[in-house]
Structure 1
């Protein structure tokens, strides 16, 4: 995700067990999903799993197949006549901890709302098909997900007698996009939408992502990007000699010696070591701490302090950043084997490591969105080692030759035509975005003129920061953003 807080949490360990060949940060998605779980005060019980019967294909009346989709309910704050707040699940397991904490829960207390959350099809426990084969994944799309939301909304209205209650949708990252699109496509079902950090423009070559990473790193001072650039140049020079390659394999603790004759392994190496910076910037200083989380103390300041440490050679600093991330995620070695990564992402069993969400999310990028964070911009410090062709190669290698640039461009065109991209024509939608978050480049950061759409651009914050519970030390801009969002909700409910 341009997006997504997109659950898809940076610092979650993989729910199916750590697998070395799958990077912790892939296509803008950390293991677990782009929206991390918030911290939680207290140890009370969380809402139990509940299930709704959904159609497999909402757009084929002749297909009568159904499946069970998971959802959660918290009616603690609800009073008769109060609104219904709908949290939209995304590209990871829906975590019920969101049902008891977060900014939306504070809003629910004030407005006496019923809180519900629907898990996205194909993620978490919501398995529409027997596996994640290409044939099965044809039913994974944002359009099907929106239809799930529409059916679920009417199901809850009937089940709980909510005929006259107003609904407000919430989402962060890819679900932020879904929240906006839900209001756009089903305005009779939802009275307003909070679309946090949602990438609205589907884009094949998302070069702006790395450029925003550059700008975010620059907030620590000019030396960080300069040193990354020089370290990148030094690594590139080392790749030109056998001795240099051997030294790099040791410095970065690779699981097997790097073979520079395998172009995709080299690209995977570049993508992985730059991803160390991208992932940290994307979630810089947010409030995702929760039981079992790791690495929330790693910020862009920490990484830049390492890169600015003149006591080490430049390449050693690059390697030290990598070692810090490996230690954080308990990696014994760094596996940059492209073939091993692709082999794991081809696994179609729900028990496989890929089914944690990586296989599903990459499928969506290969069919609807693109969002590829490439090195194609010359205006960034990470070199040119992971071009667009590297991401496109993954589409065809994982899912088959029919998944290529031509078919993806058609899918991207369809997405932007279907939802309007940055010219979305909806009403009563608020778009919070953080200036540090690279995904804001594909979102709305200024109020569109002559519309009932509202941007909340938050200086100094990262992906989905406004969704997490407030804490001491939050910047004033973030506190004000939460109040501004609450004001919009209040207006929607009063109309």
Structure 2
């Protein structure tokens, strides 16, 4: 059930809302069972691939193309938490997927004593007062994770939201639409390619400016 729910989130996160929403809307109009329609969507788009959420798979320490799954979970389990728990009402995600579920996953995969020290993470990185400068923050309008990013622009840390119907996670680099297993994104496939292009140009302008300041002996580029 955890994988089924996250498959829906992934569709939006990576710029594919239509492949999820259209079959569900059609099933609703035709009076069909929505869960059956959702299961069909998952099978057609993800097959039986559940490795990202398989705890036995996450215990595997060998280096492979799927190692990023374990690395992400280690960051979750030790630093940021970001536990995606089931809402209390009207959730397709099982109520079993609560905070305790995630903490047990961390313990099972990485060992006893593993716990996300969010306080230390916020202290080190500055929390809402980010301990850094000359950072460009970009987010796709359809990315659920954008709320965890800096969304208010400032001179030393500009922020841009790329707005379009299928602008998902990493759209500035990967284009649209995306799949977590396909990095060959293309901005021309975005519903607003110009929105992506403009932000890419802004990124270039900021980096060019900051690098030029590093060449000035009277200024620090740190």
1:178 corresponding residue in structure 2: none
Native 8 Å contact 1:376 1:387 kept in 2:
no
Cα pair 2:187 2:197 within 8 Å, conserved: no
Match of 1:322 among 32, 37, 42: 42
| 1:316 Cα deviation from its structure 2 partner | 1.9
Q: How does 1:93-112 map to 2 (within 5 A)?
A: none
Aligned to 1:275: 6
Give deviations 1:336-385, integer Å, cap 9, x for gaps: 9x9xx33333334x26x79623333322211112122221464x742552
User: What is aligned with 2:203?
Assistant: 485
The CA distance in 2 between the partners of 1:437 and 1:471, in whole Å, is 16
Distance in 2 between residues matched to 1:472 and 1:383, nearest whole Å = 34
Match for residue 188 of structure 2 among 472, 475, 478:
472
| Aligned-residue RMSD, C-alpha | 2.7
Greater fraction helix: 2
Instruction: Name the structure, 1 or 2, with higher relative contact order (CA <8 Å, separation 6+).
Output: 1
**For 1:421 and 1:304, how far apart are their aligned partners in 2?**
35
C-alpha distance 366-301 of structure 1, shift in aligned 2 (>3 A): same
1:430 paired residue among 115, 118, 136: 136
Secondary structure (helix, strand or coil) at the match of 2:158 reads strand
- Provide the rounded CA distance (Å) in 2 between the counterparts of 1:279 and 1:342: 19
Q: Which runs of 4 or more aligned residues in structure 1 lie more than 6 Å from their structure 2 counterparts after TM superposition?
A: none
Give how far 1:280 is off.
1.3
Separation (CA, whole Å) in 1 of partners of 2:58 and 2:137: 33
Distance 1:493 1:325, change over 3 A: same
Kept after mapping to 2: 8 A contact 1:446/1:457: no
Partner residue of 1:307 out of 15, 21, 24? 24
Q: What does the per-residue CA deviation read over 1:53-75, in whole Å, with 9 as the maximum and x for residues that have no partner?
A: xxxxxxxxxxxxxxxxxxxxxxx
Matched length: 194
2:145 aligns with one of 431, 434, 439 = 439
- 3-state DSSP of counterpart to 1:423: coil
Deviation digits for residues 227-258 of structure 1, max 9, x if unmatched? xxxxxxxxxxxxxxxxxxxxxxxxxxxxxxxx
Match of 1:453 among 154, 157, 161: 157
Q: What's the TM-score, normalizing by structure 2?
A: 0.75
* CA apart distance, 1:488: 1.3
Q: Tell me which residue corresponds to 1:402.
A: 113
Task: Report the Cα offset of residue 300 of structure 1.
Answer: 1.2
| Larger strand share, 1 or 2 | 1
Unaligned runs of 5+ in 1: 1-268, 285-298
* Change in CA separation of 1:354 and 1:345 when aligned onto 2, cut-off 3 Å: farther
The one of 57, 60, 64 aligned to 1:344? 57
Q: Deviations over 1:31-89 (max 9, x none)?
A: xxxxxxxxxxxxxxxxxxxxxxxxxxxxxxxxxxxxxxxxxxxxxxxxxxxxxxxxxxx
Q: Residue 136 of structure 2: SS of its match in structure 1?
A: strand
Report the structure number with the largest CA radius of gyration.
1
Q: TM-score, normalised by structure 1?
A: 0.36
Inter-CA distance 467–412: structure 2 relative to 1 (3 Å threshold): same
Matched, 1:382 2:92: yes
